[in-house]
Amino acid sequence: MASEPAGRQDRPDIVVTGLGVISPAGIGAVPLWEAMAAGKTFFDTGGHDGPAPALPWPSASVDTTEITWPAGRDWANAGKYANQSARWAVAVALQALGQAGIDGDTEDVRGGTVMAVGSSSDELSDVIPQLASRFRHDRRPLAKFLHDEVPDYSYIRGIPSQLGQFVSMASGFRGSNVAAYGEAAAGGAGALALAVRLLESGELDRVLVVGVAPPLTITAMAAFDQDEPLGTRATAGAGPFDAERSGTLLGQGAAAVLLERAEAARGTALARLAGCEVLVAADVMASAEQVVGAVLADADTTPTAWWAHGAGSARLDTAETRAVLPRVDGLPVTGSKGTIGNAFECSALIDTALVVESLARGELPPVGLLRRPDPGLGGLDPVMGEARPLGPAPSALVTAFNQGRHSTAAGALVITTAHEDSTDDGKART
Amino acid sequence: MSDDIVITGMGVITPIGGDVETFWSANLEGRSGIVREERMDTTGLPCGWTAGLIPEDIKAKVAAEYGAPDRSWGDSLMLASVDQALGDARLDELPAQDGPAALVYARVWPGPTGSFPQDYVTHMEDLAERYDRIGNEPAAVLEHLRGKHLPPETRDLSSYPSEIAERLGTAVIPVRLEATCSGGLRAIAEAARLLRSGRAQYAVVSASVSRNTPYVLSQYGQLMALSRWKGDPAQASMPFDKRRTGMVINESAGALVLETAEHAARRGMTQSYAVIGGWGLAVDTRHMTAPSVDMIERVMRTALDEAGAHPDDVDTVNAHGTSTRLNDVTEARALHELFGERMADLDVSAVKSLTGHGSAASGVVETAVAALTMCRGVIPPVTTTTEPDPACAVRTSLTPVRRPVRTVLKNSFGFGGQYASMLFRRPATPRPAPEPV
């Protein structure tokens, strides 16, 4: 990192004390991990809130019927400012808080929230075209027309950090709230890195990091596809690192990771975050090389597994493998995107939850839809078919990237067991 | 060696100046950039007749130098202000680097609907044509879109961080953040924290806003937050004045270079604009849009505590001062809680009186004013506040107040319960005013 960074020994231990996941596999990390282990995938071309069958891109969709908004007058009042992403954010936040035994009833100025929420979903995507058509025959000026006709509070509902205010309500954390997203986010790794800095500086004792990837609009999907073709089939051989992969498969989801300073933790440590950073260099491969090198040097442990981003695009899989493999040669590798697709803003948070679950179980689940590893990716050792034992004192490198050619951000994390002399006390199960 | 974090470079693009010195002069002269918004028909709206607009000649210059097909106008503004700041900090003279820099930024853009009124009108015409022809049928909409160039705003992703990395010749630790209107000050805090951690030794902070469209106007109108002043547009934003009726949105951008004092000294930058003293951040969940006295007081006290300062050490306050009925009286009450009897003599400035409100960009742009207030020993006037509100009882001046200023307390707040405050200290060797050309 910098020439004279604070030494690892001078930094406080950061532990994971709570996790929440909403994925196409259901609520929590356990059903998702077990689905991966069983070789299930969740892609469809319709159903739930996913795209209509006529669209060419399979998507792994979340079943929204399982997601509820909290009861009570305050929550009812706040509900008018909450969009679908807010409801998902609160749901995963409550999972993580519940696991840490935090009920949120007490104000905690030593706690904060960091949101990883994109703006490529839009509740008005179907409304505005109708209004545009109506406006052609309306006598009011456009601004007045929109003032009268656009649903109330929709502007506020679209503000990324607005979701964090709801998470603050749920957690009682009043220290601060910020959204870290977009081209600097690397799938939520940027939000985790920001949270780590808040904790290491002593400014806060705990930070709830929440990411949400709601269904994309058709316009956003078309724009991503225009930038770099998305995957058009979700059958065996379409998964990450496969010789026949054809592009990133779309996913949806939400995840929450509660990070605490170990010395002040209110929850039980499920795992330790030994290193985390995001870097942007001239191109994505240079970013990945530098950030992985920096994070491995910063962490005081050598990982025994690699949880890859595994976008499933020829370009990004190649860049990731070439940049990372020389530093983790011989490690087993897996990834979640062949099972649930790429939940853009929160993919690194979902992967963090899956890694914690893997460390607790001592097994690494296989890569979904991977049939024949691409020989062009060098000596990659992907987990295939069934889960693979991790051995004693497991730890994992997690890598994360943005989607698209214009975003060169790369993120890396190192996660270890909370106590490196044990592999499974069962507490990580979410 | 001091472990201070210092500001060594600044750049601005604002309605009252496209560079720091012009902007500063306008602040001292009380020259407003708020004009009547004549690009949109605002008939029937309960607000929105005025806006802080970047002058056309400055816009044309930015567009000529920074405009590119796949670059948003917000990014063009940020790059223009960043290049000013990098040049000001002489970072272009930096030799080979031994670690990453940091880049913390906030971009307030309206999405794929453009930054200007005509952009939005065109957008609506396109949507209407599409809807009348094919409705919202997904496959047909997709087919329609496939023949069009979809700008990067559609993905809400841009190459801005890699462009900055290329300019700096080193990788950057990037943070794109959003904390509503406190985002600019929050960005400075995030950059300072990164530098204190040792993960980077210098940082670029930037923010931009440009979203004067009928849609944004209509939504702020729904919130009843915008000025309803119908007199002289230059008078529309009048923080702490008893006639104030709401805020005026603007388009603007600002950039700062922060670095450790050690890093600055090592490359011969012994002068700086300001030292980051301390900051306070908080989130309130009691209301989505309304500010509260106790939260403002909390973040100001935290900023002072973190800086090891007492309220008596504060020489002046650079207020959030939006000109809304509720914000100004709430901020004023918090100031009274913190400063007590000192309020009678405590000079308060409010940059939005001349520029309008630049959302997240305001925290960066107004920090430039806070820094120059200390370097030049002049507190800018609030020339639009000619009838101070006794309910606020904030001491503003119609003329510049010239006296030594050691510290400035700067506030920024925002929707969603966002609160930020930061104490700046005058550096031991402040940057002098440039020699007249």
- Domain ranges in chain A? 15-122+161-421
Give the model's pLDDT for residue B110. Answer: 63
User: What does each of the 437 residues of chain B score in pLDDT, given as a tens digit?
Assistant: 468 999 999 999 999 999 999 999 999 999 999 999 889 999 999 887 899 999 999 999 999 999 998 899 999 999 999 999 999 999 977 766 778 999 999 998 666 677 889 989 999 999 999 999 999 999 999 999 988 888 777 877 889 999 999 999 999 999 999 999 999 999 999 999 999 999 999 999 999 999 888 998 898 888 888 999 999 999 999 999 999 999 999 999 999 999 999 999 999 999 999 999 999 999 999 988 899 999 999 999 999 999 999 999 999 999 999 999 999 999 999 999 999 999 999 999 999 999 999 999 999 999 999 999 999 999 999 999 999 999 999 999 999 999 999 999 999 999 999 999 999 999 999 999 988 76
Asked if B388 and B394 touch (Cβ cutoff 8 Å), the reply is yes
Residue B198, CB half-sphere, CA atoms under 13 Å: how many?
A: 11
Q: How far is CA B25 from CA B88, B237, B379, B424, in A?
A: 17, 19, 12, 21
Q: Judge: A152–B222 Cβ closer than 8 Å, yes or no.
A: yes
- Token pair for B285: 């969940």
Classify the C-alpha dihedral A375-A379-A380-A386 as positive or negative: positive
Minimal Cβ distance to B415: which of A118, A130, A156: A156
Backbone φ and ψ of B207, nearest 5°? -160, 150
List of chain B residues whose C-beta atoms are within 8 Å of the C-beta of residue A166 = 285
Set of chain B residues whose Cβ sits within 8 Å of the Cβ of A202:
none
Provide the pLDDT for residue A426. Answer: 41
Q: Does B232 touch chain A (CB under 8 A)?
A: no
Assess contact for B199 and A2: CB atoms under 8 A: yes
Find residue B13's DSSP bridge partners: B253
B112 neighbourhood in chain A, CB within 8 Å? 219
Query: Secondary structure of chain B: what % helix, strand, coil (to 5)?
Result: 40, 20, 40
Structure confidence by residue, pLDDT tens digits, B74-115: 999 999 999 999 999 999 777 667 789 999 999 986 666 778
- Measured between CB atoms, which of A1, A183, A219 is closest to B176? A183
**A159·B180 Cβ contact <8 A:** yes
Q: What beta strand segments (E) does B284-431 contain?
A: 316-318, 347-349, 378-379, 401-402, 407-414, 418-425
Instruction: Provide the 8-state DSSP code for B283.
Output: E
Q: E-assigned strands of B328-417?
A: 347-349, 378-379, 401-402, 407-414
The tokens describing B426, both together, are: 């005058």
Residue numbers in A near B98 (CB within 8 A): 2-3
pLDDT at A119: 61
- Check CB contact under 8 Å for A155 and B289: no
**CA of residue B29 relative to chain centroid, distance:** 20
| Token pair of B121 as six digits | 């009108």
Which residues on chain B are in Cβ contact (under 8 Å) with A136?
A: 128, 132
Min Cα separation A243/chain B (Å): 28
What is the nearest CA distance from B114 to chain A, expressed in angstroms?
15
Superfamily for domain range A15-122+161-421: Thiolase/Chalcone synthase (3.40.47.10)
- Cα A126 to Cα A130, B149, B410: the distances in Å are 7, 20, 42
Q: Is B388 on the interface with A (CB under 8 A)?
A: no
Asked if the Cβ–Cβ distance from B215 to A150 is below 8 Å, we say yes
Q: Rounded CA gap, A288 and A321, in Å?
A: 9
**Closest B-chain CA to A181:** B176
**Rounded Cα distance, B36 and B49, in Å:** 6
Interchain CB contact of B216 with A (< 8 Å): yes
pLDDT tens-digit series, residues B218-275: 988 888 889 999 999 999 999 999 999 999 999 999 999 999 999 999 999 999 999 9
| Joined tokens for residue B117 | 């009124």
**Euclidean distance between CA atoms A184 and B102, whole angstroms:** 11
Minimal CA separation from A396 to chain B, in Å: 22
Q: Which chain A residues are closer than 8 Å to B165 by Cβ?
A: 280-282, 408
Chain B residues touching A248 at Cβ < 8 A: none
Chain A residues lying within 8 Å of B41, measured CB to CB: 141-144
Burial class (CB in 10 A: 0-12, 13-18, 19+), B221: buried
Residue with tokens 């007492």: B310
- Give B212→chain A minimum CA distance, Å: 11
Instruction: Classify residue B429 as exposed, middle or buried by CB count within 10 Å of its CB (0-12, 13-18, 19+).
Output: exposed
How many residues make up chain B in this entry?
437
Nearest-angstrom CA–CA distance, A344 and A357? 21
Token code pair at residue B27: 């602040």
Query: Which of B142, B193, B197 is facing A218, going by the closest CB pair?
Result: B142
Chosen from B47, B123, B285 to mutate, greatest number of chain A CBs within 10 A: B285
Cα–Cα–Cα angle for B227, B232, B234, nearest 5°?
75
| Cβ of residue B87 closer than 8 Å to a chain A Cβ | no
Suggest the residue from B41, B143, B162 to mutate for an interface test with chain A (most A CBs closer than 10 A): B162
Query: Among candidates A187, A167, A189, which has minimal Cα distance to A178?
Result: A167
Q: What is the pLDDT along chain A (430 residues), one digit of tens a residue?
A: 333 445 556 789 999 999 999 999 999 999 999 999 999 999 985 444 444 567 899 999 999 998 999 999 999 999 999 999 999 999 999 999 999 999 999 999 999 999 998 764 577 888 999 999 999 999 999 999 999 999 988 888 888 888 999 999 999 999 999 999 989 999 999 999 999 999 999 999 999 999 999 999 899 999 999 989 999 999 999 999 999 998 999 999 999 999 999 999 999 999 999 999 999 998 999 999 999 999 999 998 899 999 999 999 999 999 999 999 999 989 999 999 999 999 999 999 999 999 999 999 999 999 999 999 999 999 999 999 999 999 899 999 999 999 988 889 999 999 999 965 443 444 343 3
Residue B319: CB atoms within 10 Å: 28
Residue B201 CA neighbour count, 13 Å, CB half: 19
Could you tell me if B1 lies within 8 Å of chain A, comparing CB atoms? no
- State how far the alpha carbon of B425 is from the alpha carbons of A372, B112, B268, B377, in Å: 62, 40, 21, 12
CB A277 within 8 Å of CB A113: no
Q: Contacts of residue A178 in chain B, CB cutoff 8 Å?
A: 177-179, 183, 186, 190
Per-residue CA distances from B375 to A193, B9, B273, B408 (Å): 34, 13, 6, 11
Query: Which residues of chain B does A401 touch, with a Cβ-Cβ cutoff of 8 Å?
Result: none
Phi, psi (degrees; rounded to nearest 5) at A345: -75, -15
Which three-class secondary structure state does DSSP give residue A328?
coil
Please name which of A107, A39, A72, A76 lies closest in space to residue A365, comparing C-alpha atoms.
A39
- What confidence score (pLDDT) does residue A48 get? 42
How many Cβ atoms sit within 10 Å of the Cβ of residue A264? 13
Q: What is the pLDDT of residue B92?
A: 75
Q: Spell out the alpha helix ranges (H) of A101-213.
A: 127-135, 142-149, 154-157, 160-171, 189-200
The owner of tokens 């030292």 is B275
A54–chain B nearest CA distance, Å:
6
